[in-house]
Structure formats: C-alpha cells, structure tokens
Amino acid sequence: MALALEEEHRHLAESVESFGARADGIAHGRAHSARLAAGELPDTWDQLVQQRLHAIHLPEQHGGDGAGIAELAVVVEQLGKALYPGPFLPTVIASAILARAGASAVAAGLLAEFAGGATGAASFRSGLTAERTATGWRVDGVSEPVLGLPGADIVLARALDGAGSPVWFRLAGGASATITAQDGVDLTRSIGVLELRGHEVPEADVLAGVTDADAEWLRNTLFAAEATGIAAWTLSTAVEYIKTREQFGRAVGSFQAVQHKAAMMLVRAEIGCAAAWDAARAQEHDADQRALVTAQAAVAALSAGVDNSLECVTLLGGVGFTWEHDVHLYWRRAISLAALAGSEELWAQRLGELAITTTRDFSFVADDTLPALRAEVAAVLEQLEALPDDAVRSEGWAPERGGSRRALLAGAGLVAPHYPKPYGLGAGPEQQAVIAQEFAARGLTQPTTVIGEWVLPTILEHGSPQQQGRFIDPTLRGEIVWCQLFSEPGAGSDLAGLSTAARKVDGGWLLSGQKVWNSMAHEADWGVCLARTDPDAPKHKGISYFLVDMKTPGVDVRPLRQATGFSEFNEVFLDEVFVPDECLVSEPNQGWRLAVTTLSNERLSMGGALGHGSSDRYRDVLAQGAHSCSRADAVRALGHSTSREFALSALNLRGVLARLASVEPGAEISVAKVYNALAQREGSRDLLRLLGPQAAVLHPEADHVIDHIGLPAILFGGGTVEIQLNVISRRVLGLPR
Ligand SMILES: Cc1cc2nc3c(=O)[nH]c(=O)nc-3n(C[C@H](O)[C@H](O)[C@H](O)COP(=O)(O)OP(=O)(O)OC[C@H]3O[C@@H](n4cnc5c(N)ncnc54)[C@H](O)[C@@H]3O)c2cc1C
C-alpha cells in the first residue's frame, strides 16, 4: 500500500523514508510550530535540498533532475508519512505548476530559483480581480487561505479578469501587497491570505502558460499523495497499538468490531492510494483524462486521510485524543488538505459532468502491443463473425450452451486464454489485455463459463488427466454447465462445518445430505460437491471434493424463489447418490484444500464496471430525466458512482502491473472484493434515492429496484463482506484471534 510500484520508485521511496526518519519531522513540528506557522524553514531544509527532493521533477535545463510527477508523488507521500514540516508541499506544487507552464523568461528565472532551494506557494481560489492597464494588470482583493504563503520566496497568484477568465502571475512585493499569517489547522506549516490593493502586475510577470486545469491537477495529485502517506501512517499506528493493548484480558485487536474497523482503514488507504497513483501517472495523458483524475483524486483520496485519522483516534481510545499523541497532527494535516482542495461535493459534481461524456482509459497495452497475437486473435474473430449467432441462451445466469461460435473460440483457446495449452493460450496479463481489446474492438463479448470459471481451475490443478480430458473442453465449448454444491442449511460462512456425508461403496461413494442456495443447479449438468468422508477427522480434514452428475438418481433439485421474484438458486437434496471413484477429485479427505481454490487462477479482472448501481444506470437516468431530484444532485451522484468505478479499476490495474513487475501481490485482491461489494451496495442505494416515487413502481425495461433487491448475490458471493473483513484483519493485518 504505497504509490511506488516499479523498482525505481520503490528505491526512491526507501531513500525518502530514511530521510524522513532522520529529519524527525514530528518532533521538529511540535517544538517549532510557531516558527513554522510564521513561515520559517525547518532545520533540515538544506539537507532536503542537498538530497534534491525539492527538484526531482524540475526540468534539467533549469537545474532540476528531470523526473516526472509520478516520482514527485512518491516523495510527497513518504514525507507526508513522516509528517515532514514546513513548506515542502506548497513549494513543489508551485514549482511543478511553473515547470508545466513552459519556458517564458519569467518562468525560467523562477524555476532556477526553485532549483536552488527557494520556497513557494500558489494561490488558487481567488477573491482577486484583475483589470487591464496599459502595462499589464491592476489586481485587487483578498485571497482565500493559501498554504505556505507566509514565508514563501515565490508566490504564484491567480486573479479573475472582467470576463471571469483567470490571470496567473508571479507576485512581486511592495506596499500594495500584504500577506497575513493565519492560525492554521495544520500546526506544522504556514497558511495565510494575500491582500492586494491597486497592485500593479507588469506584463512580464504574467504566467501565460499556466492553466487552471494543470494547476488543479498538480495540486490535487500532490495533496492526494500526501493524504496517502497520512492514511498509511494512521493505519499502521492503529494496527500496532491494537495488537498489544489489552482489555478484558486479551489484545483489543482480537475483537471483531475492532478488527473490521482496522480492515476498513486498509480498504480506504488502498482506494486513496490507487486514486493518487492514477492521478500521478496522468502526466502524459490528454487533458480530458487529466480532468477526470483531478476530480477523482479529490473525491477518493483526500477523504481517506481524514477518515483514517479519525478511525485511528477511535482505535487508540482516550490516548489518541491527547495533545501528546501524534495522531492529531496527521489528522489536522489531512483536514487541511481536504479543505484547501475545495468541497468534495463540488469535485463529485465535476466528475459527474465529465463522466456523462468521457471515461478514464485504464488500458495498459498500446494498440500495437504483441502484433502476432493480435493478428491470430483477429483471424479467429473474423471467422467467428462469419458464423451464425449461437443464440442458444439458457435462462438466468446460465452460460450459452454450445454453438459453432463457441466451439471455434474454445478450439482457439479464447474462452479462457489464461489456461495452459491446449485449453487456453497460457496468456499472462499483457496477452489477456490484448485479447480483450480485440474482442472489444469488434463489439464482441468474451464468453464465460460462469461457475465453470472456478470449477475448471480446480480440475486443472488437482484433477486427474482423465477428469481434465472429460470435463474441461466440453465446459469451454458450452456443452457442460456447472453448479456448486457447497453451502448447507447448517454450513454457510462456516463451510467446513458441512454435514453431507459420503459413504464408500464398491466402485464409488454414496452421497446423502442437503445443499442449499445452489445457483443454476436446476439447469446444471454437473455439480462440484463437498461431502464429509471422515466424520472422525477434525472438520477441515475429513472433507472430499466430488463431481456429481446432476441426472444421477437420488439428486432432487428444488428451485427457491428469491426476494427478486426470480428462481435462480435452489435447494438440492442428495439421497444415496452414487458417485463413481473416477469422479472424486484428488484423494479422499483432501477436499478443503481444493475448495480454497487458488486466487492465482483467477481471470484477469480489469473492469471497474459495477453490476449493481453502475454509472451506466446513472447516465440512463440522467438522459431520460428520470430523477426526481435536481439535475445537479443527479450529476453529483453520477460523480460518486464514477469515483467508485475508477477506484476499482485503478486498484485492479495496480494489481496487474504489480504482477507484471513481479512484485509480491499486496492486499489488492481482498480489498477489491470488499470495496466492490460496498461500492455496489452504495451505488444501488444512491440510485434509488434519485428516483423518488418512481422507485415504488416496477419498470420491466430498466428495473433499478429489482436490481437493488438482487444485491445479495454480490454481497454474499465468494464469502460475505464480514468474512472478507475477517480475512483482511487476520491474514493481511496480522491481527490476533
Ligand atoms: C445469490 C446467491 C447465490 C449463491 N450461490 C451459491 C452457490 O452456487 N453454491 C453454494 O454453495 N452457495 C451459494 N450461495 C451461498 C453463499 O455462499 C452463502 O449465503 C454465504 O456463504 C453465507 O452463508 P449463509 O447464507 O449461511 O449465512 P451465514 O453464514 O449464516 O451468515 C449470516 C450472517 O452472519 C455473518 N457471519 C457469519 N459468520 C461470521 C463470522 N465469523 N464473522 C463475522 N460475521 C459472520 C455473515 O456475514 C452474515 O451476515 C449463494 C448465496 C446467494 C445469496
């Protein structure tokens, strides 16, 4: 959970982290808060400059190191984690704005000063107005609070002209300009307002290349990077504390309510980090893309700093609320960042407006990547388009059955390209992305085997060659549909408590018991079934994994009607069902190991599109004017929904790139599962709020209400949210039982 993914960035982060530790910013900030608030430099500023941390992003021709905003963000994050005091952040924001503005004479001179260690600040929001004069502009007014303004050597200011257009200029001193320091919420930095009265700005001081869009992108990105550092520090501080603090005779970190709070802190930190990372990598993307990440950084990352800080305080108890504990210093800084970026709701609205017509491009392969594979896939898809549509759809969630198109794709390894040959193409993330692009370019959907998606990897990994030959290809061809017979009335989350029994008989096993909530069992040809083969063994050890032909005598499938009114899951009664020996996967009593199917076999997941409460649904509601609230409210809701989708996509993309860079996978997968469920729940609920009275009536063509009622399929799938939070608490955060 850090911005740095690539090796180079990780080294940079390590070196900045050790600078941060040496600088001991927390102690320095506490001891010298009055001096810092007045704009004085921290004692370690010269060392920071010697280490070139202030100039990493500045162009080489102006004395900088020529790296990018992604590298600068790594530095900001690490210094944020160390609560490095003083004007570092406002300085690098101001210098990055100038560097991006291009090489006017005034900018070149200022950049050289920045490279030499000058400090800076940028005033974004104006109460300043500019009037044309013969030699430039006359500016009047009082700015909003500006971070780092008191003490800044170089000030970039922004005023609005008579037409409401921004005029950016460097501030020269003089009697007409007054800077007043204010009492900042963040005790470790200066903040103040700029008052200009008849202040003359010569044309030479106008920063023509600076745009609001670029300036806001840089500010939000670097604020988000610092908030990421804060979210990480507060998480590790809370986790460290609850592992050792004891109440009721045990570590408080062993209480589930406490564990889930800590797990949610990790989720927030990862989401914020992904948003900050995505914003930082947008340097070379086009202006529309940067506008999207600018808003997303404000919506998704800045709140993570504030929310995690408060949660850290609650987990620390009374001690967290004391002046002596450092957490309030981080909390204050997080509040200050979120406030200075502007209202989260306004950014959500901005994101919503943008999302009506554009979306973030999360692709990570260029159009010309792997041309040979592209040509191979294109040739298959061309053949496919010449074939008649399979059009043999089953009902509900069941996949298509058979058909010539499906057979062609299965034969070409394109139904599950990540499987090894001959079933797939052994495709890694890059190849899978190229294949997905080729399908998408033709408006074709990649087929899915639905429950086969997690049955087949188990057979591939643990099944006999005979089982693989018998089941894999027909499933990929859509000739076999699977169901999963795991849950039982007495064994849900605690699946290993199952009681369906398998008794050994000549040539096979007799299965008896009851399964429940089995999706598609009424349509399935085969089921994977867990049954107890050794009742005397500890509960995880006496279970076996069977492949059950659903037409075997003794299998009784009874559809259950769900809250939606549809019948997609079932209860399945097994009465002395004979399963031949060749349908036991692996050895008897090894079933638990198989049931915990390895995540490494999961299909590459790039999408952030949510099944429930998706942004597409919001867009439709807006297009049809179906909202009963104001358009602005509906657009804001679209902005929040878009933010949730972007967060998931960025998280997924980071996971994929980490795999490509051979970095140990972090907590992305567990976090994505929890966040995905929560995002769908929130998105779907928000959608109902927009609809007002229309949500009291069923609309068969676009039923958001039934979609909402269908949420449990997501909330329970692959383990409930609570179970996922248990996994994060124990396996990722290492909290005690
Ligand atoms: C639409 C749908 C489709 C499904 N399809 C299938 C299928 O195809 N095959 C199949 O085998 N199963 C299927 N299931 C079952 C699903 O896996 C279970 O519903 C799920 O594992 C939860 O079990 P349960 O319903 O018995 O709830 P319980 O385990 O009884 O849980 C009840 C509540 O207690 C919470 N809880 C339980 N234990 C803990 C704990 N240790 N810590 C914190 N909270 C806890 C849960 O989170 C939940 O909120 C499906 C379920 C749904 C809703």
Q: How do residues 78-100 score in pLDDT, each as one tens digit? A: 999 999 999 999 999 999 999 99
Distance 457 CA to ligand 1 centre (A): 22
The size of the chain, in residues, is: 737
User: Is the CB of 569 inside a 6 Å radius of any atom of ligand 1?
Assistant: yes
Q: What is the C-alpha to C-alpha distance for residues 281 and 297, in angstroms, rounded to an integer?
A: 12
User: If you take atom 31 of ligand 1, which residue's CA is the nearest one?
Assistant: 493
Atom of ligand 1 nearest to the CA of 485: 11
**DSSP H or E run through 573:** strand 569-580
User: Is pLDDT of 604 > 50?
Assistant: no
Long-range pairs for 255-258: beta carbons < 8 A, 24 or more residues apart: 256/726, 256/729, 258/315, 258/735
User: Is the CB of 724 inside a 6 Å radius of any atom of ligand 1?
Assistant: no
Q: For residues 669 and 291, which has the higher predicted lDDT (pLDDT)?
A: 291
Atom of ligand 1 nearest to the CA of 484: 9
CA distances, 605 to each of 310, 433, 675 (Å): 32, 10, 14
Question: Cβ neighbours of residue 700 under 8 Å, at least 6 residues apart?
Answer: none
311-320, 536-545, 690-699: which range is least confident on average?
Answer: 690-699
Atom of ligand 1 nearest to the CA of 519: 8
How confident is the prediction for the chain on average, in pLDDT?
93
User: Is the CB of 716 inside a 6 Å radius of any atom of ligand 1?
Assistant: yes
Q: Do 266 and 728 contact (CB within 8 A), yes or no?
A: yes
pLDDT confidence band for 600 (50 / 70 / 90): very low
- Token pair for residue 362? 């999360």
Atom of ligand 1 nearest to the CA of 713: 1
pLDDT at 602: 39
pLDDT confidence band for 395 (50 / 70 / 90): low
489-501 mean pLDDT: 95
User: Is the CB of 518 inside a 6 Å radius of any atom of ligand 1?
Assistant: yes
pLDDT at 290: 98
User: Is pLDDT of 310 > 50?
Assistant: yes
User: Is the CB of 487 inside a 6 Å radius of any atom of ligand 1?
Assistant: yes
pLDDT tens-digit series, residues 269-288: 999 999 999 999 999 999 99
User: Is the CB of 493 inside a 6 Å radius of any atom of ligand 1?
Assistant: yes
User: If you take atom 26 of ligand 1, which residue's CA is the nearest one?
Assistant: 492
pLDDT at 580: 98
- Token pair for residue 434? 């190229």
How many CA atoms, within 13 angstroms, populate the side-chain half-sphere of residue 553?
Answer: 0
Pocket test for ligand 1, best of 454, 522, 716, 729 (most atoms within 8 A of CB): 716
Amino acid at 614: S
Atom of ligand 1 nearest to the CA of 494: 29
User: Is the CB of 356 inside a 6 Å radius of any atom of ligand 1?
Assistant: no
User: Is the CB of 560 inside a 6 Å radius of any atom of ligand 1?
Assistant: no
Atom of ligand 1 nearest to the CA of 515: 11
User: Is the CB of 646 inside a 6 Å radius of any atom of ligand 1?
Assistant: no
Q: What is the C-alpha to C-alpha distance for residues 494 and 194, in angstroms, rounded to an integer?
A: 62
Pocket test for ligand 1, best of 264, 450, 453, 493 (most atoms within 8 A of CB): 493
pTM of the shown model: 0.94
Indicate the DSSP class of residue 318.
G
Domains belonging to the chain, first-starting first, are 7-210 (2.40.110.10), 220-342 (1.20.140.10), 476-601 (2.40.110.10), 607-732 (1.20.140.10)
Cα angle at 289 between 288 and 290, to 5 degrees? 90
Q: Do 402 and 392 contact (CB within 8 A), yes or no?
A: yes
Cβ-in-10-Å burial (0-12, 13-18, 19+) of 309 comes to buried
User: Is the CB of 217 inside a 6 Å radius of any atom of ligand 1?
Assistant: no
pLDDT at 601: 42
Long-range pairs for 704-708: beta carbons < 8 A, 24 or more residues apart: 704/617, 704/621, 706/564, 706/565, 707/612, 707/613, 707/617, 708/612, 708/613, 708/684
User: Is pLDDT of 648 > 80?
Assistant: yes
pLDDT at 396: 58
User: Is pLDDT of 715 > 90?
Assistant: no
pLDDT at 399: 60
Amino acid at 388: P
Amino acid at 145: P
Q: What is the C-alpha to C-alpha distance for residues 25 and 82, in angstroms, rounded to an integer?
A: 6
Atom of ligand 1 nearest to the CA of 520: 8
256-265, 477-486, 691-700: which range is least confident on average?
Answer: 691-700
In DSSP notation, 143-204 reads PPPEET-TT-SEEEEEEE-TTS-EEEEEPP-STTEEEEE---SSTTS-EEEEEEEEEEEEGG
pLDDT at 394: 56
Distance 326 CA to ligand 1 centre (A): 41
Q: Write phi, then psi, for 324 (nearest 5 degrees).
A: -70, -35
pLDDT confidence band for 535 (50 / 70 / 90): very high
pLDDT tens-digit series, residues 605-617: 545 667 888 999 9
- 187 closest CA partner among 387, 294, 1, 34: 34
Percent of the chain residues topping a pLDDT of 70 = 96
Q: What is the C-alpha to C-alpha distance for residues 535 and 682, in angstroms, rounded to an integer?
A: 43
User: If you take atom 38 of ligand 1, which residue's CA is the nearest one?
Assistant: 493
User: Is the CB of 517 inside a 6 Å radius of any atom of ligand 1?
Assistant: yes
Helices 69-81 and 212-244: angle between axes, nearest 10 degrees: 40
Conformational region of residue 531, where left means phi above 0, alpha means psi within -120 to 50, and beta covers everything else: beta
Q: What is the C-alpha to C-alpha distance for residues 98 and 118, in angstroms, rounded to an integer?
A: 13
pLDDT tens-digit series, residues 547-576: 999 999 999 999 999 999 999 999 999 999
Pocket test for ligand 1, best of 681, 720, 722, 737 (most atoms within 8 A of CB): 720
User: Is the CB of 255 inside a 6 Å radius of any atom of ligand 1?
Assistant: no
User: Is the CB of 396 inside a 6 Å radius of any atom of ligand 1?
Assistant: no
- 126 closest CA partner among 145, 152, 147: 145
User: Is the CB of 678 inside a 6 Å radius of any atom of ligand 1?
Assistant: no
Question: Cβ neighbours of residue 308 under 8 Å, at least 6 residues apart?
Answer: 230, 231, 234, 235, 265, 268, 269, 334
Distance 720 CA to ligand 1 centre (A): 6
Question: Cβ neighbours of residue 133 under 8 Å, at least 6 residues apart?
Answer: 200
43-52, 389-398, 536-545, 696-705: which range is least confident on average?
Answer: 389-398
Distance 573 CA to ligand 1 centre (A): 19
User: Is pLDDT of 376 > 70?
Assistant: yes
Mode of pairing for the β-strands spanning 482-485 and 526-532: parallel
Percent of the chain residues topping a pLDDT of 90 = 84
